[in-house]
């Protein structure tokens, strides 16, 4: 995504600058901060993903092999239900396939890989779409069949994220089949963000609890204003930020429609947002690892 970055969270680096509206073209202070904030945000997300994948492998993977999948309930009380073979299979697919999806999805966003290994990018993208859609469908099935904590609004936001995975996959595939690389990149970014919605939620909610405890959270049923706010930030806000980034980068390549002052202001706003989100990622990862993942794995 970023034209000069090897780690690009929000733009898909083109083969040539002229063909891709996602490529920043200025080197102003606002642009440098804008580029740097995207690198920092994506790097923090990669760190969180590495910890998440390690947790899934060490927790679900190793425990399932050594102790059986019935022991998955120590990670999630609804992970295994005796007699529900279909639901258990759906949960296993939902969790274990996520390991491959997370790794593959991040590789799709690295410009150097896209440029040098085009065949790999193509087939890895197809695998990512398949896994993301399968995991989302499995997750929505489990949401309907087994339920989860929270109220209907929280469930609706979770389902929205799953729906965005499927919708984004459809439009990303259609765009690349029509040789519209820029539109394909735009929807691929939305797909990546939607596929990571659950991780965003965990990071944000544990960041909140690390800083403010249970303020705004009803611990009896996991509802409350803090939970809903975090859900919106996790499942909806990333797509709004992606749209703003798209607008900024398109305007930066088209002086006929671009307004330098407005674009500069938007760049500063997006940069500040991404830097704050990066800090939240790290705080949430700290609380999540020490408060949930590590104790569950060693139990």
Q: How many CB atoms lie within 10 A of CB 82?
A: 7
For each of the chain's 299 residues, which pLDDT tens digit applies? 333 333 444 443 333 343 443 444 445 788 899 999 999 999 999 999 999 999 999 999 998 888 888 889 888 888 888 888 888 888 888 888 899 999 999 999 888 898 899 999 999 999 999 999 999 998 888 888 777 777 888 888 888 999 999 999 999 999 999 999 989 999 999 999 999 999 999 999 999 999 999 999 998 888 899 999 999 999 999 999 999 988 887 776 554 444 677 888 889 999 999 999 999 999 999 999 999 999 989 88
Which residues, at least 6 apart from 108, have a Cβ–Cβ distance to it below 8 Å? 114, 121, 124, 125, 128, 188, 192
Indicate yes or no: pTM above 0.75: yes
Alpha carbon distance 155, 151 (integer Å): 6
For 44, the 3-state DSSP assignment is helix
For 32, the 3-state DSSP assignment is helix
CB 252 within 8 A of CB 258: yes
CB 138 within 8 A of CB 91: yes
CA atoms within 13 A on the CB side of 271: 15
Burial annotation 113-138 (CB, 10 A radius, 16+ → b, else e):
bbeeeeeebeebbeebbebbbbbbbb
Alpha carbon distance 50, 240 (integer Å): 25
């Amino acid at each position: 995504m970023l034209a000069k970055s090897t780690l690009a969270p929000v733009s898909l680096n083109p083969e040539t600058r002229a063909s891709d509206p996602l490529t920043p073209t200025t080197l102003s202070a606002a642009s440098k901060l804008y580029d740097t904030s995207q690198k920092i945000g994506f790097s923090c997300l990669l760190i969180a993903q590495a910890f998440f994948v390690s947790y899934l492998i060490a927790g679900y993977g190793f425990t399932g092999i050594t102790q059986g999948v019935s022991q998955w309930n120590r990670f999630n009380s609804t992970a295994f239900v005796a007699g529900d073979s279909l639901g258990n299979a759906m949960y296993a697919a939902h969790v274990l396939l996520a390991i491959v999806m997370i790794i593959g999805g991040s590789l799709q966003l690295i410009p150097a890989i896209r440029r040098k290994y085009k065949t790999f990018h193509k087939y890895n993208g197809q695998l990512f779409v398949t896994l993301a859609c399968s995991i989302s469908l499995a997750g929505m099935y489990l949401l309907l069949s087994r339920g989860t904590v929270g109220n209907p609004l929280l469930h609706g936001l979770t389902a929205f994220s799953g729906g965005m995975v499927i919708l984004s996959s459809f439009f990303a595939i259609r765009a690349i089949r029509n040789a519209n690389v820029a539109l394909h990149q735009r929807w691929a970014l939305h797909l990546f963000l939607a596929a990571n919605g659950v991780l965003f939620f965990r990071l944000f909610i544990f960041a909140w609890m690390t800083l403010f405890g249970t303020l705004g959270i009803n611990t009896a049923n996991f509802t409350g204003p803090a939970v809903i706010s975090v859900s919106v930030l996790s499942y909806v806000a990333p797509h709004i930020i992606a749209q703003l980034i798209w607008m900024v980068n398109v305007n930066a390549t088209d002086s006929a429609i671009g307004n330098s002052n407005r674009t500069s202001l938007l760049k500063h706003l997006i940069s500040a947002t991404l830097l704050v989100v990066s800090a939240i990622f790290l705080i949430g990862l700290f609380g999540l690892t020490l408060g949930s993942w590590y104790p569950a794995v060693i139990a």
